[in-house]
Chain A
Amino acid sequence: MIREKVKIGIPGLDEMLDGGLIPGRPYLISGTPGTGKTMVAMRFLLEGAMRGEDVLFVSLDEPPNELKADFKSLGWDISKIRVFDATPDVLSYDKTPVRDVSTERRVSYFGEIRDAIRRTSEKGPTDMSVNTVQELLKQEMKIRKYTRIVVDSITSLKHFFIKTSEEYATVQSFFRLMSDLGITSILTVDLPEVAKEEAEAHQARGEIRLHKWFDGKGLQRGVTIEKYRGSSHEQRMRLLKITDEGVVVKTSEQPKPKEEGKATKGCVAPTVVADAKKEAKEEEAKPEPAKDKPDTHPKPVLSEAHNEPAPAKKKEEHVAKAPAPETPKPEPSAQNGGHSI
């Protein structure tokens, strides 16, 4: 471990990351729409804000007023998180002069965001591009020493701000900027239901993937660490829940073997079934270690988010992969569900 890791603030997930993210590097949170990416990303910023750090949310997807309302109804106080509204304006299709965005929009606290949606100026839309977002980040870093940044989402950045032919190079330069700035950053990625490798997956130093699927009990959610450079990490999927208070990932407790086997057969991440063969292998391998020790789980897993740590589990890491060293013994009972404010 290089420096002290940056905590996301979801105990189960930090545990999967062997303590958190390595500071100063860009990471991805990926998943199909509705898996909870924005929520995990916001939790990461909130963790920083609660520690008194300067944190920034760059919103390309949702107007900040909606984010503010949504997180307020969750009971999260995100007012001390700064936000930059990079959502594109309504296009005018007239020949109005394009206006420079830096004069029109600035970073503010979520607490200062008005309840109504920002209206496109009568003078016409402002010009948003990757360059403007990058320039803005550079300027902001001169003013404040941000420690955490979220860009939600890199998918919108690609769809709305980048020409397809320049996509790879632009995404690359964006990641370069992120690491140059030395900020721990999370970029969210919307995946189609059958995913293929995208430019950003190569660039990021790590990828947290969120999954959802149906089983006999209804919608299930899970989280995997797809990649994590320079750190050991959990190899298997853990269940994730979005509750009234936010995101909960189990600590040191695996899904019941039976459940996981079934889920794999059914459709854990349809991704696997279709083309991603490499992933398919990993997925197949998953339930096996769990089957060896079917008795380690006295409780029905799906009903309980706060299980006791089961230290025996740690020996079951994949040998083929980077051998994961002992996960530091978590104190989950104290921290569990500790995302509430």
Chain B
Amino acid sequence: MSPDVLRLATGIPGLDDMLKGGLIPGRPYVVSGTAGSGKTTLAIQFLQQGVRRGERALFVSIDEPPSEVRENVRSLGWDVGKIRILDVHPSAKAYSKKVSMVEVAAQRAVGSLMDARPDAKAEAMKLVSPDLSAQSLQLMLRQELMETRYSRVVIDSMTSLKRLSETQGDIDNTLLSLLRFLSESNVTSLIVTDVPDPTKLEIESFICRGEIRLHRLMLSNRIERCITVEKFRGSAHDTLPRPLEISAAGLIVDSRKKLSKMALRMLQAVPSGAR
């Protein structure tokens, strides 16, 4: 028996309890859930925890423009000034003047979440920038990681990245390469995805080392939220669903509480993929 491996706290104490201390550093993990289940909030908390401990944290924003992310997070009352953000939110597509892949990194600005604001210059740059794909993202991150040693990276979301990469062919290999690249750079990454289609095997869910899933259950008179650890390689973990609250302070997980009977029944009734 060896002493437990080093763990990386997620910044959500109840979730860390469920994970027996936190995530194992240097590996890719998935956070899945339906829209509005709290995935992005969880991801920001994960980065915030890193910043609190003096680590460098990067948020790769594909789904939302950074200014909106900032506003949403501000409304939670957090100071997110130290989280850096890679703005790859695709804007209006330009059909002329495609730039070669290698130049992409120079085009997309990394800024701290603090000064994320609609920037006329950046917007103008984007008009001529090429499509975002897993390939171009890896190249951008390579450049970014050469300058700054990040220990935590969030990609929000993989679902969009996959859709955007579809034209490129061979998405599987480029996504795998992207995650491998982050691992080789000693980065612990959190990949935000929608709930997978239960009939399809989503690549991120079998190449990641763990999956945290957020559920939003519609009960007759209210909505109940809960969180499960679906998979966690190399570690024991809580196998029970635990109640989840989204409060002004972010996600709160009570790892000692059980789910209400009704919610539990709901969770069973839905095939796990559609939860």
A216 adjacent to chain B (CB < 8 Å): yes
CB contact list, A151-191 vs B, under 8 A: 153, 155-156, 159-160, 190-191
Return the contact of A193 from the options B26, B198, B236 (Cβ within 8 A).
Answer: B198
- A33 to B207 alpha-carbon distance, docked (Å): 9
Cβ-defined contact, B209 with A191, below 8 A: no
A89 adjacent to chain B (CB < 8 Å): yes
B233 adjacent to chain A (CB < 8 Å): yes
A73 touching B200 in the complex, CB below 8 Å, given contacts A34-B230, A66-B209: no
- A196 to B234 alpha-carbon distance, docked (Å): 28
B219 adjacent to chain A (CB < 8 Å): no
Cβ-defined contact, B241 with A218, below 8 A: yes
Cβ-defined contact, B180 with A88, below 8 A: yes
- A153 to B202 alpha-carbon distance, docked (Å): 15
Cβ-defined contact, A270 with B180, below 8 A: no
Contacts of A218 in B (CB 8 A): 239-241
B272 adjacent to chain A (CB < 8 Å): yes
Cβ-defined contact, A70 with B271, below 8 A: no
Residue of B nearest to A273 (CB): B271
Q: Mark A266-280, 1 if CB is under 8 A from B, else 0.
A: 110010011000000
- A73 to B234 alpha-carbon distance, docked (Å): 7
Contacts of A119 in B (CB 8 A): 184
Cβ-defined contact, B268 with A266, below 8 A: yes
Contacts of A38 in B (CB 8 A): 233
Return the contact of B183 from the options A70, A73, A117, A155 (Cβ within 8 A).
Answer: A117
Main SS of chain A's interface residues? loop
Residue of A nearest to B179 (CB): A90
Cβ-defined contact, B206 with A155, below 8 A: yes
- A196 to B200 alpha-carbon distance, docked (Å): 9
Cβ-defined contact, A62 with B233, below 8 A: yes
Residue of A nearest to B101 (CB): A93
Cβ-defined contact, A69 with B184, below 8 A: no
CB contact list, A47-94 vs B, under 8 A: 61-63, 66, 69-70, 72-73, 75, 87-91, 93
- A33 to B101 alpha-carbon distance, docked (Å): 34
Residue of A nearest to B2 (CB): A72
- A157 to B139 alpha-carbon distance, docked (Å): 25
Cβ-defined contact, B273 with A34, below 8 A: no
A319 adjacent to chain B (CB < 8 Å): no
Cβ-defined contact, B5 with A73, below 8 A: yes
Shortest C-beta distance, B239 to chain A (Å), equals: 3
Cβ-defined contact, A191 with B271, below 8 A: no
Interface, chain A (partner B; CB < 8 A): 32-34, 38, 61-63, 66, 69-70, 72-73, 75, 87-91, 93, 117, 119-120, 153, 155-156, 159-160, 190-194, 196, 213-216, 218-219, 244, 266-267, 270, 273-274
Sampled A-B contacts (27; CB under 8 Å): A32-B272, A33-B205, A34-B232, A61-B207, A62-B233, A66-B209, A70-B233, A73-B235, A87-B180, A89-B180, A90-B177, A90-B180, A120-B180, A155-B206, A160-B176, A192-B197, A192-B198, A193-B271, A193-B272, A196-B199, A214-B264, A216-B264, A219-B228, A244-B236, A267-B268, A270-B273, A273-B271
